[in-house]
Every structure is written in C-alpha cells, then in structure tokens.
Structure 1
Amino acid sequence: MAEIWLGGTTTAKLIEGAVLEAAFHCEHGYLLFVTDDIPFEDTLTIYLLNPQFKLLDSVNIGTAYSTGNFHLTVEPSAREVQFSFIGGFNWQLTLLAAAEFCLPLFNEPAGVRRKPNFKRWFKLSCSHNSV
C-alpha cells in the first residue's frame, strides 16, 4: 500500500502499488500510473481519482511471468495518454467526458483487469509495436 501525497501534504488515501510512474491532473481529478515492482510479474495499475481522491475508476495491466517497463510514448493531451508497458505493446488511455456503461470482462484488451463495475470513466486500447 502507498499513501497519496499532494504538494507535500498527505491526503490520508491509500492505493495499491510501489512505484509512481506518472501522475496527471485531469478534468475529473487525478490520473495515477503505479507499478508493483515485482520482478517477472510486474503489473501496472491506473487509478482515476476525483478531486477529493475518491476512486472513480481503475484497471490493472499485466500477465504472469512478464516484467513491465512503463514509459510515455507521446506527450499526454487533455484526454489521452499513450504509453508502453509489457513487450512490444503500445497503449492508449482515453478519458471520457462522463462515465459510460460497460460490461465487465468483455470490453477490455487482453491482459487488462477491471473490477466488476458497470461504468467506466476511461477506455484503453492496445496495439503491437512493429519496430
């Protein structure tokens, strides 16, 4: 567990994860990218928190026996973050203007786990980097 601090002050909110890879202020609050730092089974968790640090949405990306290496591939925009994580895969996170209905387990790329919920605040897409 890790505690969220903002501007040198604790928010008294806890999240799962070990390494904060990136954090962005967005229209809904805050978008955090956190890895677990577990060799050969690293995972990336993306949190969307409102301005009071209440969880709006989150996903977990990872597979067994895979080591992740997070990095941004393009400078983030107001609604999109592009990054790579495991293997030759490029990811795109798109923030939605408002929460939308989704069916758990059926609307996500392979390797993405979202807690059972019928709404989401962002979409993820994935493509293989053919370098």
Structure 2
Amino acid sequence: MRTVHVNEASREQLAALLDLRPEEVEALVRARPFPGLGALRRALPFRVARGVRAFEIPKLDINAASEDDLARKARIPAAAARAVVAARPIYLLSELRGLPEIGAAAFDAVAAIFDVPELVYRDKLT
C-alpha cells in the first residue's frame, strides 16, 4: 500500500489519514517540517501520537472502507461513495475513472486518501 510523508501531506490527507480536527491539522502544518519522529509525536494530539511509528502514513484500503468513510474522508458525494462500493473489488484506482458518478475532482480526492492493496496470488488448488 502506498504512503504519504507527513511533511508533504496535504491538509486533507492529514485530517483523513490521522483523524485530526481542523485546528489540529493547522497546528501540525505550522510546525512542519519535523526533523525527527519525536518532534512529530510531540506536535500530535496524544490520541494520535501513540499510534504514529513513522513519517510515512499509509493510505486507506479502498476495498475495506465503508460508504460513509469514503464520503467523509475523501469528501465526495454519497452517490459517488455508493458507486465505489458497488464496483468492488477495485484492482486499480484508475477503474474509478470509468464510473459515471466519479468526476475528475472526486477521483483526485479519493486517490489522495485511498489506495488498492497489493494483490497476493493464492493457489486455491493446493
């Protein structure tokens, strides 16, 4: 799964991937760049800091997210979130471009927060 570096993440990515409130996002952005993990953790609210182990924040799994999570975290219309859920499993994010409910702005919003996990081949015959 792809990640986003906390020193380069957009405000929307920080809010969605770290579950930060708007004022927490602004404080984090003002404190950047972080020279070390300790400095990053001190800048985060305790409820978030204890779970941060690296500068790289993993994107969310588009195939595991609920309709509500898709709509809320990517800030897309409910109809677009429903279309994503109905089209599952998603193997490539580019598949979303074929959905009529997903315009360019919605695609960019989803791609900033969500990713497709790596596919793992499993031999079902053995």
TM-score interval (norm. to shorter): under 0.3
Q: Which has the higher strand share?
A: 1
State the structure with more CA Rg.
2
Q: Which has the higher helix share?
A: 2
TM-score for both structures, normalised by structure 2:
0.27
